[in-house]
């Protein structure tokens, strides 16, 4: 028998989300548990024909101030906080007519949903719950005697304990519920504090809190010996956290990380302008292209690095259609993510039972503000999302030769891609498709050489007589500190360059570009991605 089961005789229910409430309350009533409730919850239970006391029957005070004050009373908090085995606590309860509350069921005002719906400031303030968190924390602290439920998913666990232990809830379950309760109030307070910081324009508040809710427990992390789980934050940004998984195996830690990288990258390409495909391997794009159709874009993206694309992630900016689905399923692919998909495309993908098909319901906005986080030993780094987009940049021609219209289109394309390639990043592109990518190298010249080698290898695989880099443009995520990286691009066959500029040796690099006959533009924006 589990240790210290505690009998439940009275339950206080006060919930915003009423899904499953009536059935749960009816089950409690059928087990002889007295029901006490507040406001809308009391009305819902009464209308369902359940005998339920109003919390004012305990406190002797009516709800007041538009419901802001109803449970902040010793009759409630004494009933939650009293230690049943403490004679002084019991004497105080007796002296003041306080009745014990053995089960608390509370979910909070929908603050996160109100903010996500872009409601006015005052509406958000009114959806900050005060009494709920106070009761939750009180019950969770006193979990030695009280069970607290903040998630409707735990209704069945509570009923199972009540049935198994003669109307009692075990200490094991009470502890688990208490942990969840404190995590929920912490996440709730984090959402409120971060929203207020944003409203105030506070980029670095004195305290920064993080919170999220479990999406799923993963089989393992980056490696099999690492435990892992996936949590959703309050931010409603289309992507891996919003997807409907149509089919395929459970996503792994690495799948989720890579899929996020792919979908963020494809969000750079407006679907009304062109179809776009991003193929990602180990969080780096290995092929990106635009086309008139997804099928055309996929073929161009795959040509860039067909070897790395094997076992990769494919993201697109338009609903998956049958023609693209047939092409993508010709090679081994881990994940396909799209805003939506046709029924015919879904049926085609279904033939590959392990292939994950994810439908996100929308595209991430590359201009949207937000925060990104990264842990370090003893703390974490916070920064604003890189929401700079090349279409909004004032490109400055710094060489004697200006880029042609075709080169300019390719330069903008390449810089969009470079934003999503690990630094040091070099991207060769031609005809709105990558033809060589150098990522994550310790020196920029090495990235240039690797990207050029990739372009030459891709040409060999395609049976072409010369490197794909011939006649291409090249993008660099940061300035060239020396001319050597730029000259490596020229040697590979590039004709134009886009880079942030800002090096002490810009004049030297510009001179080298002029001597090589290159056109070069500066963006004024760096896209480091570590």
Extents of the domains making up the chain? 8-200, 238-359, 393-522
> Does residue 2 register a pLDDT over 60?
no
pLDDT, tens digit (0-9, with 9 covering 90-100), for 278-317: 999 999 999 999 999 999 999 999 999 999 999 999 999 9
Instruction: Find the mean pLDDT for residues 336-352.
Output: 97
Question: What per-residue confidence (pLDDT) applies to 9?
Answer: 93
Pairing of strands 34-37, 10-15: parallel
Which residues make beta-bridge pairs with 88? none
Confidence of residue 409 (pLDDT cuts 50, 70, 90): very high
**Which residue of the set 29, 53, 249, 282 is catalytic?**
282
The domain defined by 393-522 folds into Cytidine Deaminase; domain 2 (3.40.140)
Question: What per-residue confidence (pLDDT) applies to 78?
Answer: 86
Is-above-0.85 flag for pTM?
A: yes
Q: Within 13 A of 180's CA, how many CA atoms are on the CB side?
A: 19
Q: Single out the residue of 215, 109, 108, 105 nearest to residue 157, CA to CA.
A: 105
pLDDT, tens digit (0-9, with 9 covering 90-100), for 168-211: 999 999 999 999 999 999 999 999 999 999 999 888 988 888 88
Question: What per-residue confidence (pLDDT) applies to 1?
Answer: 42
Cβ–Cβ < 8 Å for 32, 7: no
**Which residue of the set 18, 29, 141, 352 is catalytic?**
141
Question: What per-residue confidence (pLDDT) applies to 65?
Answer: 66
Cβ–Cβ < 8 Å for 25, 1: no
The answer to whether the peptide bond before residue 280 is cis (omega within 30 degrees of 0) is no
End-to-end CA distance of the chain: 52
Question: What per-residue confidence (pLDDT) applies to 61?
Answer: 66
C-alpha 18/C-alpha 42 separation (Å) is 11
C-alpha 55/C-alpha 431 separation (Å) is 69
pLDDT, tens digit (0-9, with 9 covering 90-100), for 7-27: 999 999 999 899 999 999 999
Three-state SS string over 408-471 comes to HHHHHHHHHHHCCCCCCCEEEECCCEEEEEECCCCCHHHHHHHHHHHHHHHHHHHCCCCCCCCC
> Does residue 37 register a pLDDT over 70?
yes
C-alpha 171/C-alpha 175 separation (Å) is 6
Mean pLDDT, all residues of the chain: 92
pLDDT, tens digit (0-9, with 9 covering 90-100), for 240-291: 999 999 999 999 999 999 999 999 999 999 999 999 999 999 999 999 999 9
C-alpha 475/C-alpha 427 separation (Å) is 5
> Does residue 54 register a pLDDT over 80?
yes
Question: What per-residue confidence (pLDDT) applies to 481?
Answer: 86
Instruction: Find the mean pLDDT for residues 444-456.
Output: 92
Which residues make beta-bridge pairs with 315? 278, 337
**141: annotated active-site residue:** yes
pLDDT, tens digit (0-9, with 9 covering 90-100), for 437-447: 999 999 888 99
Q: Which CATH class is domain 238-359?
A: alpha beta
> Does residue 64 register a pLDDT over 70?
no
Question: What per-residue confidence (pLDDT) applies to 98?
Answer: 86
496: CB partners within 8 A, 6+ apart? 403, 404, 407, 408, 410, 411, 473, 474, 518, 519, 520, 521
Q: Single out the residue of 150, 197, 159 nearest to residue 178, CA to CA.
A: 150
The domain defined by 8-200 folds into Rossmann fold (3.40.50)
Residues in the chain: 530
C-alpha 41/C-alpha 15 separation (Å) is 6
Instruction: Find the mean pLDDT for residues 62-71.
Output: 66
**73: annotated active-site residue:** no
Task: Answer yes or no: same fold for 238-359 and 393-522.
Answer: yes
> Does residue 67 register a pLDDT over 70?
no
Instruction: Find the mean pLDDT for residues 355-376.
Output: 94
Count CB atoms within 10 A of the CB of residue 228: 16
C-alpha 314/C-alpha 274 separation (Å) is 17
> Does residue 68 register a pLDDT over 70?
no
Instruction: Find the mean pLDDT for residues 99-117.
Output: 91
Residue 167 Rama label (left phi>0; alpha psi -120 to 50; beta): left
Cβ–Cβ < 8 Å for 494, 392: no
Question: What per-residue confidence (pLDDT) applies to 20?
Answer: 92
C-alpha 232/C-alpha 246 separation (Å) is 19
Confidence of residue 84 (pLDDT cuts 50, 70, 90): confident
């Amino acid at each position: 028998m589990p240790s210290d089961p505690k009998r439940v005789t009275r339950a206080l229910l006060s919930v915003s989300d009423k899904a499953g409430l009536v059935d749960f309350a009816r089950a409690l009533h059928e087990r002889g548990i007295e029901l006490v409730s507040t406001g809308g919850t009391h009305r819902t239970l009464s209308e369902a024909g359940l005998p339920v006391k109003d919390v004012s029957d305990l406190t002797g005070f009516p709800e007041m101030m538009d419901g802001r004050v109803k449970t902040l009373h010793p009759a409630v908090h004494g009933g939650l906080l009293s230690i049943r085995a403490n004679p002084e606590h019991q004497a105080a309860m007796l002296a003041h007519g306080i009745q014990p509350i053995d089960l608390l069921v509370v979910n909070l005002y929908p603050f996160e949903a109100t903010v996500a719906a872009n409601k006015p400031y005052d509406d958000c303030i009114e959806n900050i719950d005060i009494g709920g968190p106070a009761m939750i924390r009180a019950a969770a602290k006193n979990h030695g005697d009280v069970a607290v439920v903040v998630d409707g998913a735990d209704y069945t666990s509570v009923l199972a304990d009540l049935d198994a232990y003669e109307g009692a809830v075990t200490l094991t379950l009470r502890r688990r519920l208490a942990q969840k309760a404190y995590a929920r109030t912490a996440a709730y307070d984090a959402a409120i504090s971060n929203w207020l910081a944003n409203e105030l324009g506070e980029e670095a508040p004195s305290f920064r809190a993080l919170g999220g809710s479990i999406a799923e427990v993963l089989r393992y992390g980056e490696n099999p010996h690492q435990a892992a789980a996936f949590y959703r934050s309050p931010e409603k940004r289309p992507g891996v956290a919003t997807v409907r998984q149509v089919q395929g195996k459970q996503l792994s830690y690495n799948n989720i990380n890579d899929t996020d990288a792919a979908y963020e990258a494809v969000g750079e390409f407006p679907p009304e302008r062109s179809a776009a495909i991003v193929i990602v391997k180990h969080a780096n794009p290995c092929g990106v292209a635009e086309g008139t159709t997804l099928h055309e874009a996929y073929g161009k993206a795959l040509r860039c690095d067909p070897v790395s694309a094997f076992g990769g992630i494919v993201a697109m900016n338009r609903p998956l259609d049958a023609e693209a689905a047939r092409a993508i399923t010709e090679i081994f692919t881990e994940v396909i993510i799209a805003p939506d998909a046709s029924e015919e495309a879904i049926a085609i993908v279904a033939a590959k039972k392990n292939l994950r098909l994810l439908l996100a319901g929308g595209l991430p906005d590359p201009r949207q503000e937000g925060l990104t986080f990264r842990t370090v030993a003893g703390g974490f780094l916070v920064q604003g999302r890189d929401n700079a987009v090349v279409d909004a940049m004032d490109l400055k021609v710094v060489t004697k030769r200006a880029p042609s219209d075709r080169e300019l289109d390719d330069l903008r394309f390449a810089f969009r891609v470079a934003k999503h390639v690990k630094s040091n990043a070099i991207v060769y592109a031609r005809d709105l498709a990558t033809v060589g990518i150098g990522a994550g190298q310790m020196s920029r010249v090495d990235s240039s050489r690797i990207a050029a080698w990739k372009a030459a290898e891709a040409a060999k695989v395609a049976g072409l007589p010369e490197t794909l880099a011939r006649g291409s443009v090249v993008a660099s995520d940061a300035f060239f500190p020396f001319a050597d990286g730029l000259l490596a691009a020229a040697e590979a066959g590039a004709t134009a360059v886009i880079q942030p500029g800002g090096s002490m040796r810009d004049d030297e690099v510009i001179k080298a570009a002029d001597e090589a006959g290159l056109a070069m533009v500066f963006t004024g924006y760096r896209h480091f991605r570590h």
